Amino acid sequence: MNFSRALTGERKPSLVYWERTCCFAFCNWLSTRRYSRPGCSRVPRVVQRRPRCTEPPPLCSAHHLEKNTQLAHTYWRSVLEPGDMVLDATCGNGHDTLALAEYIGAPVTGTLIALDIQDKAVMRTRNRLVDMFQSRFRSTELHIHSEYTQGRLRCRLWTENGFICELRQFPHEQFQRDMLDSWLADVKARPTWFKVAAYNLGYLPGLDSDRSIRTRADTTIKSLKLLEGLIAPREGLISVSCYTGHDGGAAEGAAVMDWAQALDASQWTAVAHRWLNRRQAPSLVVALHQVASRPSTPYETTSDKH
């Protein structure tokens, strides 16, 4: 270093260049750190020019538009809370039952009633739930009881914490609210309103399934009308996925649409989702119960029974 230059304040041009570059880089780094602290709203230009994530944003973040089932699940998730009671009126292979169990707080809370007219479907749903507990909630002990009573399969799965799932081989059009009292009589869970009642119409998917066993317009409508009185006020909902690809499917879908259109607008808000350019895609009908005041639970009064 030339000491005479340093003493007189005169510096080499190359040194000045490096001093300025380092100073600029340091200031940039400092401002990035200062403004990227939590609570600091000002974003420095240097951060804007160099975003950390270089991946393009997804074309469509509305995943519920991809599949009808996803759309139904989105509705359920939006109203369900831990501890709620829900009904899967057509449990089939158990995919929807599994989602409902998750949304009501399994393995800790929630009461889940799942029905199907085929014992094969009840067994598949039971097995799917058991698999979920084994893979995801290994630390929670799951109690299982299965039996045939009067020729119908009944499975009960429950945890000590309070989650309970009652799986019944039972036609949904015969389901009455009094039945819950006897079905759940031996457990602490008190029957209350159903926050969600889910219908996924049609036949049991699978190669070894009997496709002639499927939901039908008359029994589905009968069941929906019975359920109307058991849905939680304000946020409870009934969702119905209707398939048109099989015999009777289109007529059943139309009957469900008529049922939803006839619901009292002062108590229900009904909406239908139909895919316009996917003819085989199922449509979804959702009826949201929006009545302001009702008795505390449908099970506490005997005067207004069906």
Ligand X SMILES: C[S@@+](CC[C@H](N)C(=O)[O-])C[C@H]1O[C@@H](n2cnc3c(N)ncnc32)[C@H](O)[C@@H]1O
The answer to whether 153 and 121 have CB atoms below 8 angstroms apart is no
Angle (CA) 61-64-65 rounded to 5° is 85
Pairing of strands 283-289, 268-273: antiparallel
Q: How far is the CB of 226 from ligand X (least distance, A)?
A: 12
Q: Which of 299, 301, 87 is nearest to 192 (CA)?
A: 299
Q: How far is the CB of 221 from ligand X (least distance, A)?
A: 11
The answer to whether 195 and 227 have CB atoms below 8 angstroms apart is no
What does residue 98 show for φ and ψ, rounded to 5 degrees?
Answer: -60, -45
The pattern of x and - marking residues 90 through 109 that bind ligand X according to CB under 6 A reads xxxxxxx-------------
Nearer to ligand X, 90 or 111 (CB): 90
> Binders of ligand X among 109-138, rule CB under 6 A?
115-118, 121
| Residue 173 in contact with ligand X, rule: CB under 6 A | yes
Closest residue to ligand X, based on beta-carbon distance = 92
Question: Quick one: 179 exposed, middle or buried, by C-beta within 10 A (0-12, 13-18, 19+)?
Answer: middle
Nearer to ligand X, 44 or 171 (CB): 171
Kindly indicate which of the ranges 24-32, 152-160, 171-179, 286-294 contains the residues binding ligand X, using the contact rule CB under 6 A.
171-179
> Binders of ligand X among 3-42, rule CB under 6 A?
none
Nearer to ligand X, 84 or 116 (CB): 116
Number of residues that bind ligand X (CB under 6 A): 23
CA–CA gap between residue 44 and residue 58 (Å, rounded):
26
CA–CA gap between residue 77 and residue 127 (Å, rounded):
23
Q: How far is the CB of 200 from ligand X (least distance, A)?
A: 3
Pairing of strands 152-159, 142-149: antiparallel
CA–CA gap between residue 44 and residue 51 (Å, rounded):
11
Q: How far is the CB of 38 from ligand X (least distance, A)?
A: 42
DSSP letter (8 states) at residue 108: T
| Residue 239 in contact with ligand X, rule: CB under 6 A | no
The pattern of x and - marking residues 202 through 231 that bind ligand X according to CB under 6 A reads xxx--------xxx---x------------
List residues near ligand X by CB under 6 A: 90-96, 115-118, 121, 171-173, 200, 202-204, 213-215, 219
